[in-house]
Amino acid sequence: MATRHSDPAQKEDLFLMETYTVSQLVKDMRFEGFLLVRSSDQRTGSNGSRYLDMNLTDRTGEINCKMWDGTVAPPQVGSVVKVRGLVQEYNGRQQLRVERIRAAQPEDHVDLRLLVPCAPEEPEVMYKEIADTVARFEREDLRKLVTEMLRMAGDKLMYFPAAQRLHHAERSGLLHHTTGMLRTAEHIIAAYPFLNGDLLRAGVILHDLSKIQEMNSDDMGNVNDYTRDGLLIGHLVRGVAQLSLAAQNVGVTGEIVLLLEHMIISHHGEAEFGSPRMPMFPEAEALHWIDLLDARMNEMQSIMQRTPEGAFSEKIWSLDRRLYHPHYEE
């Protein structure tokens, strides 16, 4: 629950009380309500004082929060807390100055569905779209291989996010990212008919599946950290290993396995971004750009949602620039 000043001179207990989501918060608004902990750290300021630095979220957005009381222990990532504070701005971005915080209790009856960012479509619907795509593959070996990879991914695929932060960091975000890419791929295949459509579709489905091994996520899609496998190996190399295992499981051999392995390991495009090989055939190149486009558009959509029309966002470190939200209606 957030509150907006009806008169700046009024005391806190006289504020007009209304319910707001994170996406609706604006400067000078008071907030009191339950939020999910995305990240939480105790830091030391330049003056030597300790403070709490948190990112808290509901299903509509995320806000950075500071609590200048260094005696408060950081809440656990993935937990729900009740906070009270004042919305301010810092470097052009909204920030909540927290005055009070406590852990949610069973008697609070918090509905987690209101706090967890979720993909816009139901996971069962998105999974069916992927499975139907695989069923239409003309090559039996490709169909068997991708079906086995989906089987190996298991139930985690239904709720796993595509990332801890940045793009598709939401419950079922990996399915959201994959189906979004598949829809874009259909336009690319139509525009460039020389491409092997099923190979590109298979690459889209497989390229990020091993993020399931890369991150620790609960069934609400909250990632608290990378796994040891994720830190030591990463989803590109692990994806190749998983594909090799799947090929053995279903008895698929030949160049099709090698092509898919290359697509997985090269889809980040350059060594600077984690790919040991650049894409070396057209379907691999197309996969790289479709992946980048879908990730960028999702991230930019989130930034536009928290940036007023006619204003610039804060500097986005992943993009190394600020974004402008145009007045589209003018």
Q: Does a structural domain hold residue 310?
A: no
Q: Is the pLDDT score of 87 beyond 80?
A: yes
Considering the domain architecture, whether residues 63 and 178 belong to the same structural domain is answered as no
| Domain end (from 114, 135, 168) | 114
Q: Are strands 215-217 and 16-18 parallel, antiparallel or unpaired?
A: unpaired
CA separation (Å) from 273 to 169, 200, 220, 236, 269?
Answer: 19, 21, 28, 11, 7
Q: Is the pLDDT score of 7 beyond 50?
A: no
Q: Does a structural domain hold residue 318?
A: no
What is the pLDDT, as a whole number, of residue 5? 45
Residue-wise pLDDT for 233-278, tens only, equals: 999 999 999 999 999 999 999 999 999 999 999 999 888 888 899 9
Q: Which amino acid is at 27?
A: K
pLDDT band at 1 (very low <50, low <70, confident <90, very high): very low
241 in Cβ contact with 232 (< 8 Å): no
Task: Report the predicted TM-score, pTM, of the whole model to 2 decimal places.
Answer: 0.82
Exposure of 306 in the CB half-sphere (CA atoms within 13 A): 24
- With a pLDDT cut of 70, the percent of the chain lying above it is 94
Considering the domain architecture, whether residues 75 and 158 belong to the same structural domain is answered as no
CA separation (Å) from 113 to 22, 23, 80, 263, 302?
Answer: 14, 16, 12, 36, 19
206 in Cβ contact with 294 (< 8 Å): no
pLDDT, average across residues 9-30: 64
247 in Cβ contact with 253 (< 8 Å): yes
Q: Does a structural domain hold residue 330?
A: no
Considering the domain architecture, whether residues 239 and 133 belong to the same structural domain is answered as yes
Q: Is the pLDDT score of 321 beyond 50?
A: yes
Q: Does a structural domain hold residue 322?
A: no
Q: Is the pLDDT score of 14 beyond 70?
A: no
Q: Does a structural domain hold residue 325?
A: no
CATH number of the domain within which 13 lies? 2.40.50.140
What is the pLDDT, as a whole number, of residue 180? 98
CA separation (Å) from 167 to 7, 152, 262?
Answer: 39, 24, 23
Domain range spanning residue 213?
A: 123-304
Q: Does a structural domain hold residue 326?
A: no
pLDDT, average across residues 67-83: 90
257: nearest Cα among 144, 154, 153, 167 = 144
Look at the chain and report how many structural domains it folds into: 2
Q: Does a structural domain hold residue 196?
A: yes
Least confident range of 44-53, 186-195, 197-206, 291-300: 44-53
Q: Quickly count helices (H) and strands (E) in the chain.
A: 9, 9
- Stated as kind and residue range, the H or E segment containing 244 is helix 235-250
Considering the domain architecture, whether residues 7 and 86 belong to the same structural domain is answered as yes
CATH number of the domain within which 292 lies? 1.10.3210
Considering the domain architecture, whether residues 219 and 155 belong to the same structural domain is answered as yes
Q: Report the interhelical angle of 235-250 vs 140-153 (nearest 10°).
A: 120
* Rounded CA separation 181/95 (Å): 33
Q: Does a structural domain hold residue 321?
A: no
What is the pLDDT, as a whole number, of residue 61? 81
Considering the domain architecture, whether residues 193 and 216 belong to the same structural domain is answered as yes
Its sign, for the CA torsion 120, 238, 196, 146, is negative
- CB neighbours (10 Å) of residue 309? 12
State the chain's maximal CA–CA distance in angstroms.
75
DSSP string, 33-45: EEEEEEEEEEEE-
More confident residue, 145 or 20: 145
More confident residue, 8 or 66: 66
208 in Cβ contact with 295 (< 8 Å): no
pLDDT, average across residues 186-210: 98
